[in-house]
Amino acid sequence: MRVDVVTIFPDYLAPLQLSLVGKAREAGLIDVAVHDLREWATDRHRTVDDTPYGGGAGMVMKPDVWGAALDTITVKPGEGKGAADARPHLVVPTPAGEPFTQARAAELSADSWLIFACGRYEGIDARVVADARTRMRVSELSIGDYVLNGGEVAALVMIEAIVRLIPGVIGNPESLAEESHGPDGLLEYPVYTKPPSWRGQDVPEILLSGHHAKVARWRRDEALRLTARRRPDLLARLGDDALDARDREV
Ligand code: 6GU
């Protein structure tokens, strides 16, 4: 997968060199490039924003600068960088976007080329997304119901969630099946390691029993209870066949 990030704060994306995403880069599973939007500004002050039509507070990012940036990054194969068979999917982090979920992360992890357009200020001139839609897939996505100062941190969040789903990035793919927001739609059950007793708290007896079926049942019960308590919205969204009669007793 190729990942391009366009931002006026390239340093904000430094964590992409680290840890899981950094290792995926080193292993050649992903190719990440971070671009400074100001490279496409044309005036002496490298201006990227201007006052909003219709008035109001704040500044709006200029369409001509964003248009030039996206044109350069997506030049046709043969003319420049774009991988020959790849079609870009433009992701625009915005608090006004559709929810970024584990399902969205999984879909995006199958794409061969993602471009993250990080806006600052009051946002990017709306014509940039409209114009991009004429030649590429575009998703405007939000990571949650709160406001950040810009799309950079949201892009980091999304890239980490997406990249760990690319085959080969996570050592043991079974660890993806049992985590929160995994295939069963439940939050993850609590986990324990040694010692068996710590500060007066004992590891639940059943986990020491070696009885695999009972352990599995206990974990499912705990996952169901936790989800009902913390995220009743997730339980309500499960399909009719997701819970059996035994689950419904919990
Ligand atoms: Cl994706 N961007 C910004 N700027 N703020 C956010 C967000 C994204 N998601 C939640 N808040």
SS3 per-residue string spanning the chain? CEEEEEECCHHHHHHHHCHHHHHHHHCCCCEEEEEEHHHHCCCCCCCCEECCCCCCCCCEECHHHHHHHHHHHCCCECCECCCCCCCCEEEEEEEEEEECCHHHHHHHHCCCEEEEECCCCCCECCHHHHHHHCCCEEEEEECCCCCCCCCHHHHHHHHHHHHCCCCCCCCCCHHHHCCCCCCCCCCCCCCCCCCCEECCEECCHHHHCCCHHHHHHHHHHHHHHHHHHHCHHHHHHCCCCCCCHHHHHC
Beta bridge partners of 33: 4
Please tell me which residue, 120 or 71, carries the higher pLDDT value.
Answer: 71
Asked if pLDDT for residue 34 goes beyond 90, the answer is yes
Q: Give 182-233 pLDDT, tens digit per residue.
A: 889 999 999 999 999 999 999 999 999 999 999 999 999 999 999 999 999 9
Is 145 annotated as a binding-site member? yes
Domains identified in the chain, total number: 2
Instruction: Look up the CATH number of the domain holding residue 201.
Output: 1.10.1270.20
What pTM value is reported for the model?
A: 0.94
Residue 64 carries which side chain, given as an amino acid letter?
A: D
Contact 71, 4 (CB under 8 A): no
Ligand 1 center–CA 247 separation, angstroms? 36
Asked if the structure places residue 171 within a domain, the reply is no
Is 250 annotated as a binding-site member? no
Query: Ligand 1: which residue has its CA nearest to atom 5?
Result: 148
> Which residue is listed with tokens 């020491």?
208
Contact 145, 6 (CB under 8 A): no
Domain identity same for 221 and 141: no
Is 143 annotated as a binding-site member? yes
For CA atoms 77, 63, 33, 145, the dihedral sign is negative
Asked if pLDDT for residue 241 goes beyond 70, the answer is yes
Ligand 1 center–CA 165 separation, angstroms? 22
Domain identity same for 92 and 51: yes
Beta bridge partners of 3: 32, 114
pLDDT of 183: 87
pLDDT of 142: 98
Domain boundary among 110, 131, 163: 163
Ligand 1 center–CA 157 separation, angstroms? 10
Task: Go through 92-123 and write b for each residue having 16 or more CB atoms within 10 A of its CB, e for each that does not.
Answer: bbbeebeebebebbeebbebebbbbbbbbbeb
Query: Ligand 1: which residue has its CA nearest to atom 6?
Result: 95
Ligand 1 center–CA 96 separation, angstroms? 8
Closest atom, ligand 1, to C-alpha of 149: 4
Mutate to test the pocket of ligand 1, among 5, 94, 114 (most ligand atoms within 8 A of CB): 94
Asked if pLDDT for residue 3 goes beyond 80, the answer is yes
Instruction: Look up the CATH number of the domain holding residue 58.
Output: 3.40.1280.10
Would you tell me how many other CB atoms lie within 10 Å of the CB of residue 213? 7
Ligand 1 center–CA 214 separation, angstroms? 42
Average the pLDDT over 55-61 and give the result.
Answer: 96
84: CB partners within 8 A, 6+ apart? 77
Asked if the structure places residue 45 within a domain, the reply is yes
In this predicted complex, what is the ipTM?
A: 0.91
Domain identity same for 117 and 199: no
Residues with a CB atom less than 6 Å from ligand 1? 93-95, 97, 141-144, 146-148, 150-151, 154
Is 119 annotated as a binding-site member? yes
Asked if pLDDT for residue 71 goes beyond 70, the answer is yes
Average the pLDDT over 38-67 and give the result.
Answer: 97
Domain identity same for 229 and 151: no
Average the pLDDT over 54-59 and give the result.
Answer: 96
User: What residues make up the domain containing 39?
Assistant: 2-163
Asked if the structure places residue 71 within a domain, the reply is yes
Domain boundary among 103, 138, 163: 163
Domain boundary among 163, 188, 209: 163
